[in-house]
């Protein structure tokens, strides 16, 4: 540091004393200013996927789960205590419900979507859709894969919601995994919501889903 700069720094406490403010106050004030490089920490909202990772796959043989189709959307309830965006939604799913003698009968499938719906009296709002986005898609009808999506551009206020999984086209159907390998893998149990053509309801069941979020502040 050059002499002029050092002289200026050394004069700070004296200038503060003349103004009736202690130098310690300046240091405390500076410490309270957030750094531009500090990022909001990602936190786990829900995890019923257990030991499953983004690379986890299972054969559809020996697997079972909650049916997903054009007449039934299913997914877990989750609660946010602070205004947040969902940075990642992961689910173990398969998008092929008809396999005959090991041969899939489900061509031209599209990725499932995840829908965010508000909880009303403990069940998913069957009318209002807050947001929806496609999951990744392995396009492998014989495999259950961990598919994922993000909704980090849709801030959600504190409250209780449902993340429901649904097909994009009427011809697609599959399942949200509950267990695999004949029960060797078991998803966690949680409150799930179901939306059908006749309304919505809630239940308790096993589904393999993981949701992460980060807090966002109003601009």
| The pair of three-digit structure tokens given for residue 58, joined into one six-digit string | 């299972």
Instruction: Report pLDDT for 110.
Output: 97
Q: In terms of Cα–Cα distance, which of 79, 32, 37 is closest to 213? A: 79
* Cα 88 from Cα 161, distance rounded (Å): 15
* Cα 147 from Cα 23, distance rounded (Å): 54
* Residue 106 DSSP label: -
Instruction: Report pLDDT for 39.
Output: 59
Q: Which fold has domain 42-215?
A: Jelly Rolls (2.60.120)
Answer positive or negative: Cα dihedral of 44, 45, 49, 55. Answer: negative
Q: Is residue 58 predicted with pLDDT exceeding 80?
A: yes
In a 13 Å sphere around the CA of 159, the CA atoms on its Cβ side amount to 15
* Cα 117 from Cα 75, distance rounded (Å): 10
Q: Is residue 180 predicted with pLDDT exceeding 50?
A: yes
Instruction: Report pLDDT for 140.
Output: 96
pLDDT tens sequence across 191-212: 999 999 999 999 999 999 999 9
- CA angle (83 as vertex; 78, 84 as ends), nearest 5: 65
Average pLDDT over residues 80-106: 94
Q: Rg of the chain's alpha carbons, rounded to an integer?
A: 25
**Main-chain phi, psi angles of 4, to 5 degrees:** -65, -40
**Main-chain phi, psi angles of 30, to 5 degrees:** -65, -35
Answer positive or negative: Cα dihedral of 57, 60, 64, 70. Answer: positive
Q: Is residue 24 predicted with pLDDT exceeding 70?
A: no
Q: Is residue 173 predicted with pLDDT exceeding 90?
A: yes
- Hey, where are the domains in the chain? 1-33, 42-215
In the structure, what pLDDT confidence band is assigned to residue 63 with cuts at 50, 70 and 90?
very high
Q: Is residue 181 predicted with pLDDT exceeding 70?
A: yes
Instruction: Report pLDDT for 29.
Output: 36
pTM over 0.85: no
């Amino acid at each position: 540091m050059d002499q002029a700069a050092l002289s200026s720094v050394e004069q700070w406490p004296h200038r503060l004393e003349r103004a009736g403010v202690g130098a310690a106050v300046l240091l405390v004030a500076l410490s309270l200013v957030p750094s531009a490089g500090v990022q909001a920490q990602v936190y786990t909202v829900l995890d019923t996927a257990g030991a499953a990772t983004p690379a986890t796959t299972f054969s559809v043989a020996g697997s079972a789960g909650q049916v997903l189709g054009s007449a039934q959307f299913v997914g877990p309830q989750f609660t946010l205590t602070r205004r947040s965006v969902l940075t990642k939604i992961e689910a173990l799913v398969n998008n092929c419900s008809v396999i005959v003698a090991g041969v899939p009968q489900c061509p031209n499938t599209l990725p499932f979507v995840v829908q965010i719906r508000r909880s009303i009296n403990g069940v998913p709002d069957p009318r209002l859709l807050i947001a929806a986005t496609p999951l990744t898609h392995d396009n492998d009808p014989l495999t259950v894969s961990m598919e994922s999506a993000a909704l980090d551009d849709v801030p959600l206020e504190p409250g209780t919601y449902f993340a429901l999984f649904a097909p994009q086209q009427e011809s697609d159907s599959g399942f949200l995994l509950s267990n695999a390998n004949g029960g060797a893998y078991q998803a966690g149990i949680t409150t799930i919501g179901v939306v059908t053509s006749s309304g919505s309801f809630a239940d308790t069941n096993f589904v393999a889903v993981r949701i992460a979020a980060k807090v966002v502040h109003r601009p």
